[in-house]
Structure 1
């Protein structure tokens, strides 16, 4: 019996080739989108769950008195935790940016490398907490020697050609410390926030012996592995007392714990990967997958119910010959299942082909081996069953419900089937989704353009940032370097500093203001700059003056946000007031107040910050260039740099590119929405095309009569289009408030955002109408231009 069902199903699908093609094409695209989204979500949800005890690993974070939480910790905390909680496995760690590495080979000049990210300072417990795969060396002892280092395979191959040659070799880091390679790691999996390249002992950090419990750096973090018998809640209770033990009485900050599994999904804090994927984005992806699949199923239902009239006699004959309703239902569900299975097979092929572009769009690393995952095939099995029922159940009920006498007398028409009203409702549903995605994409693009075009409050164009060695010998050559650089015609200004005005590598601290008994109750962003910083980045002053060219006296600049936080309304009121950093380690007067500028992205509010001239903390040069011949200027800068620091790798980054990276996730989301919007409108129009084709066949005699009576092709196009345009207009009216609500909620995540204008909705609606009209008109014009004699001669 099943064989007969299959034979009949294949015959029916072959007889209606065009509709079968449209159905399978729609299902293929819908299933492919769902599968890609499932793989992406599965990937994003798998971060760092490969560690043996991932459920007991926590990140230690700092919670301020007013509730704000930072992912970093004070510098002395790791040592204090080892002292107070000896049963906990804990590790202080930091990521170094722009680490210089010199590979020392016998009878050869050192080979120089620069690790921009991926260089980590860790305590020995790091490899007891995290289980990265090893190729050589012992995790328990690899970093016990204070002069040891561990490389990943790819890093070892860059340094030594073959990773097997690396063990026991010597490298020099930061032109200072000689380290011996004691271990080789397999390259870190892509689904970890710790993308290691080189791992060195924590004691090499300049702040590893710091006693400052106030200042925190965004790259300095701490992780713990709790014993099995200690719960996170119990550990946090102990950390409250721990925080009070070491901090000053007026410092109410405490340490809290965050499960390792939340590090990658917490958008309110940062991680070493520099990318988070919050639950909200996961929900949006699931919704998009559901909507796209629903659109594909809607196409199937619409075309199947519309074609019901063509199969009315078949149903009548089956019923007269004794077929029960359940048998007819089974027949049409089997036809649906065959089309769904064909869609699944094609979807697998498409997904295999589009994984590389998906990686490019999202900035992730999916691989084809994910398709061999059991979870993927369970997902496909469930999808096949659900789509078969969702797309095939209602059409099967409609077809099996025909009255056999009416069917055999050809009294069943397209309008007499119960699916007419439903088909209209489903078309509306399709275009609600399509238009919502189009309008949402337009608003997202506008917001990204707003981010990129809104002034930051300082000059960011044609400024190149070049890191230099931070040792005292290198810093002694800064004046010489400045003179050489200023001699280049295209170089306009040079400033030595700790970081640029807008940066993601930040150092927060508090200070005593005007001989106060205690430090400020709010943390401030710290920047260490020279007297050329203000003119190089063209930072406008609200009061006072710039700092002077001196190394012997500390002078401070603050922004207007500090003035407001301190309770003053006039910037002049804070001038010449003393600032005391780190218990007297650096003191000096406030000599100027800067107008507020954006030191972070426009997603965040302007923060209070201060700048002070402390030469020992300079690590980078900001070079302002003219725009006449930037490539030539860079070549000359590189030549001078190599003459000044022959043992140091030259590299640079433009400031506007660094700022552009603040909005990397939004740009990825924009590209994703563009793709999904295109898919939604394509699937919706595919369904319209199928319905218009069916309508053209069903109304061919009507069109012929109208033509004989004088109707023009334009009138025929209007006849075909008016009903569909009405449905799309209804969809637009429903889509607008829904889109406004959700996009308004999304925009509230950003401190600085666009206003939602009415013209965006009009543009999105008109775009959908035009695309749909073009789709329908193709069949309408074809019907309108047909010779009426051909359609009427059989009458």
Structure 2
């Protein structure tokens, strides 16, 4: 019997190829979206799950009171913590400190000290216990002893191959780090997988930098964190309480910061704390992706229902004959479900092929390493089986009931024409409304996201970011000694307008926050401030405006400070009130008068609140040259001249540069990627909804064919007939808009609240979204409406 059902199903689908093609197209797209989203979610949820002790690994966070009763969380911890924790907590089996030093200069030299090769690997300093906590594959060396010597280093496989051609040759070789340290390669690690927070190229020890000897419990830096491995069966809540007492034991009573544990699984998902790869995927984003996948699959199922019920009317005679010949409802339902199952199976296979083709494109859009192998896991096959069952039942069950319920006499007389007020029609209209609720929500939501991205791009940050190039250089004594010479040479290069030396550009994603004393007070003020070490030309180069006082002097022998308006406001003063008042940083190590107040500029990103900033002229901390190119200058020629100057003066360095506007754009990369992804999903939802409208329009055209004929006989014009069809769909889309608009406003309002600087949701966005959906719907419906309007009324009124 099953063979007969399948044979009949194939024959039916072949006879109705157009109907089958539309259904397969809709289902294929819906399933493809599910597969792609599932792969994205699978990747994001796989971070650091390969560690065998992952359930016992925790990160130590610093918790401090913020403004307005808020609490601040950060991964940064004081430098002594990894050394002291093992002495105070028997609950910890292992403790490791980690410092991500960023990309550092590594050179290979010959026996005479001449540089043969230069590289910039991503360097981590850590304690040897790191490899007792985390699982990374060792290709050479002993993890128990490889980092015991302070002058030892371990390389990743790809880094070793880049340096030595073959990683086997790297063992025992000497490399030079930052032109200061000679390190011996004592181990080779397999490259870290993509789904880990620790993407190191090279590992060195705490002992080499003497980090374990630092006694400063006040200063914290995002590059330094601490991880612990708990002994089995420990109570995390109890340890958190002990960490509060631990903080009070070692810190100054005025330091209110404490510490707590965070499970390893939270490192990739907690947007409060950040991580070393600079990308956090909060749970609400995962939920949103699941919702989009479910809704688009539902839209595809709705399309199937609409097209299937429309096609069922055309198959009325077939159903009538089957009933007369003895088929019962169960057999007819099984027959229709068999056809649905075949369509779904075909769609699943096509969706797998399409997903494989799309993954490289999605990988590029999202900057994620999504490989074809991720579609061949057991979980994917379980998902496909679940989709097969759900879609077959969801899409095929209702149409099968409709078909099985046909009266055989009416069916044979072609009188299957359920009244327009029937429950079936109402359900189909309701499904179309549902489709356009989702479609309009995606359209309007995407427009709001794009508006926010445009705001980030166009909003003033309080400084000039166009035509400014930042070039890093050595911040040691040799580099500092050449600053005056470099400035003079740069100013003579054609096309260069301004030059400034500092520790960073005005906006940075790695700010250093520190406290200070104001006006000879004995205690630090109650807030920390972003620090910038700058020269006298910093304001001119970046076009930062003074609002009170004067600029820094040209000499660096006199210590002076500039502060921004936000810092002044936090002090509860006016700009004129802080001029010539003393600032004291790091307990008197850096102090001097405030000589000027500058207009606020964004020191971080526009996603954050305006930060208090102070700037001072400390030459030994300069590590960045900011160069503004003149309008209309030949940027390529200017950059070649700058590169030659750098290579002549720093032959051991690797010349690098980045334009400031490009750097700022990278701050919003994740939001921009999400916007692109939502654009794709919105486009697919529009297309699927159009298929659904086509199905309902087809159904109505068949149902009302005689009505259209009568109207044409009575003088109705084709335009009137088109209006007759379109009016109803305009009403359905209007209802969908009324429901979608408040839902979109609620969810997008909450999303925008994640940003301190944000756009206001304007009514024009809703109008644009609604009109777009309406226009697309009318174009889709018009094809069927015009076809019905152009039919010869004689043919439509003939007796069958």
TM-score normalized with structure 1 length: 0.96
CA distance in 1, matches of 2:446, 2:379: 31
* Contact kept? 1:51, 1:131, Cα under 8 Å: yes
Measure how far apart 1:649 and its partner are.
0.8
Show the 5 A alignment for 1:239-388.
239-388=243-392
Measure how far apart 1:113 and its partner are.
3.5
**Which of 758, 769, 772 is the aligned partner of 2:777?**
772
- 2:617 matches 1:613: yes
Alignment match, 1:228: 232
Measure how far apart 1:694 and its partner are.
4.3
Measure how far apart 1:207 and its partner are.
5.7
What SS does the corresponding residue of 2:547 show, helix, strand or coil?
strand
* Contact kept? 2:310, 2:698, Cα under 8 Å: no
Measure how far apart 1:669 and its partner are.
1.1
Alignment match, 1:481: 486
**Which of 124, 143, 149 is the aligned partner of 1:139?**
143
Q: Report how many aligned residue pairs link the two structures.
A: 793
Alignment match, 1:415: 419
Show the 5 A alignment for 1:49-68.
49-66=49-66, 67-68=71-72
Measure how far apart 1:700 and its partner are.
4.8
* Contact kept? 1:463, 1:625, Cα under 8 Å: yes
- 2:24 matches 1:24: yes
> Which one is further off, 514-523 or 701-710?
701-710
Alignment match, 1:750: 755
> Which one is further off, 381-390 or 217-226?
217-226
Alignment match, 2:518: 513
Q: CA RMSD in A?
A: 2.1
- 2:644 matches 1:625: no
CA distance in 2, matches of 1:275, 1:691: 44
* Contact kept? 1:19, 1:690, Cα under 8 Å: no
Instruction: Give the direction of change, closer, same or farther, for the CA distance of 1:440–1:328 in structure 2 (3 Å limit).
Output: same
- Specify every segment of 5 or more residues in structure 1 that has no aligned partner in the other structure, as ranges: none
CA distance in 1, matches of 2:23, 2:333: 18
CA distance in 1, matches of 2:350, 2:310: 25
What SS does the corresponding residue of 2:637 show, helix, strand or coil?
helix
- 2:495 matches 1:490: yes
**Which of 147, 152, 162 is the aligned partner of 1:148?**
152
What SS does the corresponding residue of 1:583 show, helix, strand or coil?
coil
Instruction: Give the direction of change, closer, same or farther, for the CA distance of 1:346–1:436 in structure 2 (3 Å limit).
Output: same
Which whole-Å deviations, capped at 9, do the CAs of 1:545-576 have from their partners, x for residues lacking one?
222233333222221222222222x1121222
CA distance in 1, matches of 2:331, 2:785: 38
CA distance in 2, matches of 1:508, 1:88: 32
* Contact kept? 1:555, 1:613, Cα under 8 Å: yes
What SS does the corresponding residue of 1:755 show, helix, strand or coil?
coil
- 2:685 matches 1:677: no
> Which one is further off, 189-198 or 673-682?
189-198
CA distance in 1, matches of 2:588, 2:735: 69
Which whole-Å deviations, capped at 9, do the CAs of 1:99-119 have from their partners, x for residues lacking one?
111123457942444437x32
What SS does the corresponding residue of 1:68 show, helix, strand or coil?
strand
Alignment match, 2:123: 119
Alignment match, 1:37: 37
CA distance in 2, matches of 1:765, 1:223: 51
> Which one is further off, 102-111 or 129-138?
102-111
What SS does the corresponding residue of 1:221 show, helix, strand or coil?
strand
Which whole-Å deviations, capped at 9, do the CAs of 1:402-455 have from their partners, x for residues lacking one?
333443444321437642111111111111111111111111111110111010
- Specify every segment of 5 or more residues in structure 2 that has no aligned partner in the other structure, as ranges: none
CA distance in 2, matches of 1:704, 1:322: 36
* Contact kept? 1:90, 1:225, Cα under 8 Å: yes
> Which one is further off, 372-381 or 316-325?
316-325
Measure how far apart 1:166 and its partner are.
1.6
* Contact kept? 2:102, 2:124, Cα under 8 Å: no
**Which of 462, 465, 478 is the aligned partner of 1:457?**
462
Show the 5 A alignment for 1:526-565.
526-565=531-570
Measure how far apart 1:83 and its partner are.
4.3
**Which of 717, 720, 723 is the aligned partner of 2:728?**
723
CA distance in 2, matches of 1:505, 1:351: 37
CA distance in 1, matches of 2:715, 2:250: 94
CA distance in 1, matches of 2:317, 2:796: 22
Measure how far apart 1:297 and its partner are.
0.5
Alignment match, 2:764: 759
CA distance in 2, matches of 1:103, 1:567: 55
